[in-house]
Structure 1
Amino acid sequence: MNIKNYLDSTYLKTNSQAGLSENENEAVAQGFIQEAIDEEFKLIMIRPERVALAKKMIVDADSKVLIGTVIDFPEGTSSIAKKLDEALECIQNGADELDYVCNYEAFKAGDVDSVKDEILKGTQLGLDNNKTVKWIIEVAALNDKLIAELTTLIRNVVVANFKSEVYNSVFVKSSTGFYKTENDLPNGATVASITIMLQNAAPLLVKAAGGVRTYKEAVEMIELGVKRIGTSGAKAIANGEETSSKY
């Protein structure tokens, strides 16, 4: 197993979150992009405003690393129109994969129709432009029943509206890695949450993000059935080390 083929190396901190100036944080992001190129990770996951930078660096390096970005991150509560506008700009700037934050708060409040609508329209935009689409459900904000129900909803919308040949281009993703939990509870992927997602996502794929900190944990997730792992400690994991990264 080449674990690098599963790793989405991720850097999503804002300047304030990183405690850095704009120029300093830009340099950190550039370092992550270069590391993804050098290490030949599957993908670099970067904020929308840095997609063009990643595209230039990858093209200049003649690299095959894919570019992923997050849409409506990290809350996911923006309007469908705003989500689509942000996604389209990222596509135009060179993104290969769009990781939308699903409006899980609306889902929890019972507004299933608006969630269906954003899944349909967001997925359509991505697939129409030959992009991979992932829907982040934020498992730490949901109980087991809601994880199963929201995963099933995403699957049902995709299966009802798109042909089977594109199912491998749509993922359900566990977490942003930025959700604030109480009592230091896990805010990302766990074996329990990923198992529920896998049971309800097929034929769509599952991405485990947040909380995968060692090579052993990454292998465990892959053996469960996930096809991608998002981590800001990709190099440490690939080298068999433990990352101190929180997402």
Structure 2
Amino acid sequence: MTAYTLDDLARFVDHTNLHADASDADMIKLCDEAKAYHFKMVAINQVQSKLCAAQLKGTDIDTGAAIAFPLGQTSIAAKVFETQDAIKNGANEIDYVLNIGRLKAGDTDYIESEMTQIVAVCHEHHLPCKVIFENCYLEDEDIVRAATIAKKVRPDFIKTATGFGTGGATLEDVRLMKQMVGDAVKVKAAGGIRDADTFIAMIQAGTDRIGTSSGIKIINELKARMQQAGTDHIDIDR
């Protein structure tokens, strides 16, 4: 059992706005909220890297650019360039969508090459790289295949979903992903995590980061629970 303060729990959150119609004002609001709640990162579309990096300058909150989002259906070269461009414009975390079609076709060489090249760009700059599987389109054997490659290549995280597919994070998928990579790679849960109970369950299942657009609601729910219990922490069994 581990005791988590409210700030500890807030640092699990990648505060997210990936909507196609998000304005500059929406991005500034997202960054202001991240600063107010001390979230770990803002998760944004790649084109907004420069704006958000400027807003978060001087803080310990990261700018997380989504690459080949949300379909993952661009060439490796295009993903590498997009990653490099995001970093050039201030992104200091990368979440990229792997090529789901190649994974389902069993083309492990392609998936390993793609992962190796993008992870190399991130690690050259000493930045974290997260690989989005988009599990709603995958069978367990696909998840196992991708996680096995990740354990070899060593991105920093493997991630459940974009939040734009037909389904989001499930506890079963998180447990399977964690089982496959162990402590070699961390797991990020994203997609459909909108309340405190689900948030805590994802941590119990083994996630180290949670992508959600409901972070403020969740943290406020957790704060209310602590106040009601007269404590400054929540115990979670991992």
TM-score, with length taken from structure 1 = 0.84
CA distance in 1, matches of 2:141, 2:102: 16
Whether 2:204 is the aligned partner of 1:198: answer no
Deviation at 1:58, TM superposition (A): 1.2
Whether 2:49 is the aligned partner of 1:51: answer yes
Question: How far does the alpha carbon of each residue in 1:44-70 deviate from its partner, in whole angstroms, 9 at most, with x for none?
Answer: 1111111111111112xx322111111
Q: Contact 2:108/2:145 (CA < 8 Å) preserved in 1? A: no
Q: Report the secondary structure of 1:239's partner residue.
A: helix
CA distance in 1, matches of 2:131, 2:81: 16
Match runs of 1:1-247 below 5 Å: 1=4, 2-15=8-21, 25-59=23-57, 62-158=58-154, 170-179=156-165, 181=166, 187-202=167-182, 203-240=184-221
Higher relative contact order (CA 8 A, sep 6+): 2
CA distance in 2, matches of 1:100, 1:173: 9
Aligned to 2:227: none
Q: Report the secondary structure of 2:193's partner residue.
A: coil
Deviation at 1:110, TM superposition (A): 2.3
CA distance in 1, matches of 2:181, 2:160: 11
Aligned-pair identity (%):
33
Question: How far does the alpha carbon of each residue in 1:19-65 deviate from its partner, in whole angstroms, 9 at most, with x for none?
Answer: xxxxxx22222211111111111111111111111111112xx3221
Deviation at 1:204, TM superposition (A): 0.6
CA distance in 1, matches of 2:31, 2:191: 19
CA distance in 1, matches of 2:179, 2:37: 32
CA distance in 2, matches of 1:83, 1:146: 21
Q: Which runs of 5+ in 2 are unaligned?
A: 223-238
Deviation at 1:152, TM superposition (A): 1.4
Q: Report the secondary structure of 2:47's partner residue.
A: helix
Question: How far does the alpha carbon of each residue in 1:96-115 deviate from its partner, in whole angstroms, 9 at most, with x for none?
Answer: 11101011211101222111
Q: Report the secondary structure of 2:56's partner residue.
A: helix
CA distance in 2, matches of 1:156, 1:90: 25
Aligned length: 215
Q: Report the residue type matching 1:207 in the other structure.
A: K
CA distance in 2, matches of 1:82, 1:112: 19
